[in-house]
């Protein structure tokens, strides 16, 4: 069995694992990333791509933002549609910040390229991964690659392998606390070859269900419809999708979507999930391995980026000085922000979606809330400061 030693073993080559490896490299801390999927798979899977100001800043500051700045779409606000009206929230005016629309898979491509160019090691297509010894001084990650059993011995393990990964299961069940809410709807998402009908995202509340107009480029639109969480995509031929989008996104004189070829469609169920603590022994969870948010607030990848910035800084302090206070505070530091973002994502979700058991009172209250949020400067500021990203607390220094 081949065994190697690095300071940090990272399970998962999503944005969390890759950015953590990149940040550690810049701090002179060795790491290896292992990933169950192929490079083509992780670089090709389409995920949401609204980057908070803080995420944009860290990508720029660490040298992986060049393509993002060239190809990303900078948004200074967003639009809420309801009751036949469109109302804009101006982020720049309210909080002086913006967001960037740039696909998560594009971020992954940039991070993979940066790690490989710097001589970093990413081992793709591993199997039979397991973690042991996290309560000792030298945990190990065992896996097979190209038919051979291999082991990484390390000082610390970072579990960045997503909601369905193996890292969270390495924490004893009597230690882990799980908080979860499953929503009674999902999103039918499509990718279409048609220019976006708006320069900014449109969030639409309609009696027939929520809809969202997003984009991937000036030529490609990303659109979503609220639907049952277990909906059969076969029930949604292209014609029905476009008809429903036209109805739900209507608002404003003469406004209409330009329809085009739908090249991808799928249904995503929605949940809120938090696992506490995010550290046990020498294992640290980051990103979707520790938390899931409904996509309404566009926070999933941004939370992961926040986690690994906190973790990378704590590890940098540890290796520079031997102080463990920041590592010990990692879980609490991250969870404060995570729960604040969970609140915002839940709030956006309940405000914009229709619920089957909603009464006439609930529907009128929902419209009143949207009216208030889009007319009160204080309320708009609250939405804007959460949407562009709350300040990141890096914990004890």
Catalytic pick among 102, 143, 183, 203? 203
Catalytic pick among 183, 224, 318, 387? 387
DSSP per residue, 304-348: HHHHHHHHHHHHHHHHHH---HHHHTHHHHHHHHHHHHHHHHHHH
Q: Catalytic annotation on 145?
A: no
| Length of the chain as a residue count | 397
Catalytic pick among 15, 139, 294, 295? 295
Catalytic pick among 299, 318, 330, 353? 299
As a dihedral over the C-alpha atoms of residue 101, residue 106, residue 108, residue 110, rounded to 10 degrees, the angle is -110
> Which of left, alpha, beta for 96 (phi over 0: left; psi -120 to 50: alpha)?
left
Asked if 20 and 305 touch (Cβ cutoff 8 Å), the reply is no
Q: Catalytic annotation on 299?
A: yes
Residue 78 main-chain phi, psi, to 5 deg? -145, 165
The number of angstroms, rounded, from the C-alpha of 152 to the middle of its chain's C-alpha atoms is 28
Contacting residues for 188 by C-beta, under 8 A, at least 6 apart: 224, 225, 226, 227, 231, 233, 236, 241, 265, 266, 267
Catalytic pick among 75, 97, 140, 291? 75
Asked if 279 and 134 touch (Cβ cutoff 8 Å), the reply is no
The number of angstroms, rounded, from the C-alpha of 252 to the middle of its chain's C-alpha atoms is 31
Q: How far apart are CA 105 and CA 48, in angstroms?
A: 9
As a dihedral over the C-alpha atoms of residue 320, residue 321, residue 325, residue 331, rounded to 10 degrees, the angle is 10
DSSP per residue, 261-315: EEEEEEEEEEEEEEEE-SEETTEEE-GGGTEE--GGG--HHHHHHHHHHHHHHHH
Contacting residues for 11 by C-beta, under 8 A, at least 6 apart: 17, 34, 129, 131, 141, 157, 158, 159, 160, 161, 165, 166, 167
Q: Catalytic annotation on 203?
A: yes
Q: Catalytic annotation on 295?
A: yes
Nearest by Cα to 59 from 305, 341, 313? 305
Q: Catalytic annotation on 387?
A: yes
Nearest by Cα to 120 from 10, 207, 218, 208? 10
| Alpha-helical runs (H) found in 63-123 | 66-71, 91-95, 104-117
* Residues marked as catalytic: 75, 203, 295, 299, 387
């Amino acid at each position: 069995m081949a065994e190697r030693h690095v300071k940090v073993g990272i399970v998962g080559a999503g944005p969390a694992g890759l950015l953590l490896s990149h940040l550690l490299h810049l701090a002179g801390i060795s790491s290896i990333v292992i990933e169950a999927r192929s490079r083509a798979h992780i670089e090709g899977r389409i995920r949401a791509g609204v980057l908070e100001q803080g995420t944009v800043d860290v990508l720029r500051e660490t040298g992986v933002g060049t393509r993002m700045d060239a190809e990303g779409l900078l948004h200074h606000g967003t639009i809420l549609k309801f009751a036949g009206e469109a109302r804009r929230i101006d982020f720049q005016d309210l909080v002086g910040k913006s967001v960037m629309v740039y696909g998560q898979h594009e971020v992954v491509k940039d991070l993979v390229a940066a790690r490989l160019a710097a001589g970093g090691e990413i081992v793709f297509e591993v199997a039979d991964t397991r973690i042991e010894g996290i309560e000792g001084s030298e945990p190990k990650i065992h896996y097979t690659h190209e038919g051979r059993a291999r082991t990484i011995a390390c000082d610390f393990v970072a579990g960045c392998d997503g909601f369905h990964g193996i890292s969270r299961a390495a924490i004893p069940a009597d230690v882990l606390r799980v908080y979860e809410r499953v929503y009674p709807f999902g999103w039918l998402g499509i990718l279409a070859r048609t220019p976006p009908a708006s320069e900014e995202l449109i969030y639409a509340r309609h009696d027939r269900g929520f809809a969202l107009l997003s984009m991937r480029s000036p030529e490609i639109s990303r659109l979503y419809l609220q639907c049952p969480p277990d909906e059969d995509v076969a029930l949604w031929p292209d014609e029905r999708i476009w008809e429903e989008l036209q109805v739900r996104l209507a608002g404003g004189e003469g406004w209409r979507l330009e329809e085009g070829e739908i090249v991808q469609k799928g249904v995503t169920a929605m949940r809120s999930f938090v696992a506490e603590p995010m550290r046990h022994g020498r294992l640290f969870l980051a990103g979707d391995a520790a938390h899931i948010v409904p996509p309404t607030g566009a926070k999933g990848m941004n939370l992961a980026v926040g986690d690994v910035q906190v973790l990378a800084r704590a590890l940098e302090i540890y290796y520079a000085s031997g102080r463990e206070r920041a590592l010990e505070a990692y879980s609490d530091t991250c969870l404060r922000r995570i729960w604040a973002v969970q609140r915002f994502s839940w709030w956006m979700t309940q405000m914009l979606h229709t619920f089957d058991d909603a009464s006439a009172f609930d529907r009128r209250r929902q419209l009143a809330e949207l009216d208030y949020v889009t007319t009160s400067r204080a309320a708009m500021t609250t939405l804007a400061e959460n949407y562009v990203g709350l300040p990141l607390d890096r914990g004890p220094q």
